[in-house]
Structure 1
Amino acid sequence: MMKECILKQLQTIEEEYSVKIIFACEAGSRSTGLATPTSDYDVRFLYIRPIQWYLSIDKKKDDVISLPVNNQLDLVGWDLQKALFLLTKSNPTLLEWLQSSIIYLENETITNKIKEVVPYIFSVRTCFFHYLHMAKGNYKAALKDDEPSVKLYLNVLRPLLYCRWLERKQTIPSVEFEHLLDVCEQGIKSEVAALLHLKKGRLVTPNFAMLNTYIEKEFIHLEHVIKEVEDQKEDLNVNDIFLYSLEHIWQIKL
């Protein structure tokens, strides 16, 4: 079982790096519902080190653990201190991890405290900029291919639909692609559905010219929208969550 292999690798990381993993989830195509039988596993996790590491005067640069196990399994983790700092910036990547429906490991006592502050630090504007920039970059890559790539086009449409979700709902977008179809224009849904069917091995032919027209039209629309987006984001101090996590994991009193 792949889950057993993943949990074993996470345990190995804890032992080799002297850390405690407090959250581990699936990211990438498996979390978005776009996986095929040959898709790899992209595991993302948050970890915390012993208090002595944070109190040391040595400069800290190793706040990421990256461990490509093989071509089927890739693990990347962020130190909790780094993650909490990025959380205050409404980091879209971290918000996606917290939204994942595939959880391998979780200390709910800590993650519940993190999730409680998410609605207050969530920035529509920050996420909008991030996903619009991502969609444009992926579209340039898609156009360079001689043959249209289903994967690349889905990688354009996903952040594009995230932007539409942000515009209409003003909430954190669902990471599952099929949920994003709720905000997709009716006239293009059939072509997006054809991409999904083709990704899953069905013999269909999407109208890529129509998709290009839709994507370019959306870019123009979203560029106007971003100028009007206002934030309700609050500046919160998450130090208490970090201190609580240190106490809870290492059974100490600070």
Structure 2
Amino acid sequence: MRKFPLVPLIIAGWIVVLMLGAPLRAETWTTEFPIDKQDLASTGRNPYFILEPGHYLVLRGGDVELTITVLTETKMVDGVQTRVVEERETKAGKLFEISRNYFAISKRTNDVFYFGEDVDIYEGGKVVSHSGAWLSGVNGARFGLFIPGQPSVNARYYQEVAPGVAMDRVEIISLTDTVRTPAGEFKNCLKVKETTPLEAGVTDYKYYAPGIGMVQDGALKLVKSGTAQESHR
């Protein structure tokens, strides 16, 4: 987002986060990100998020498999050329969901912003729902911060700001976790706690490894990652 990163300062019992130039109390959640959209690009690399065509992650847990692929496609959303990242989820070998997520990254700070998603939910091989779909700039929705370029523990921010539809928010818990997965052991991982005001009591923990990306999402753990020449979609 900015050259000045998320850096917590303890001043007279207050934790102040320098986020986008605005001081925040620790109990608040950042919902607005007044950035210069000209600073955003559709390709780049954050320490914990690779937005480069061909990069992919495969996570598994039980009978669920999630494949995340950075596509060569881009999409204009809310005045920004975003990169399309596909998430393809199967359950017991059957297609359950395909989402096309739209991201952009700051050229100055490597902060990654989330501009929405198109969602197809499948049942019996047919699309039965588009639940959770939203786009920044449509029906009052606004883009959120997905991962800051220089994260700090206790930072709290919304990844999605689509009232009544998608309101995922995260709190950074740790920058030093070790995660063991079928793909290997990863140290100094970013750990976030994900919640949403739309579903009280629902909590998820995700882990991102430096130079790799997400290595664990709840019960799903990384089994494979890399870069591949994307086939035409």
Say which structure is richer in helix: 1
TM-score bracket relative to the smaller structure: under 0.3
Please report the TM-score for the alignment, with normalisation by the length of structure 1: 0.23
Please report the TM-score for the alignment, with normalisation by the length of structure 2: 0.25
Say which structure is richer in strand: 2
In terms of Rg, which structure is larger?
Answer: 1
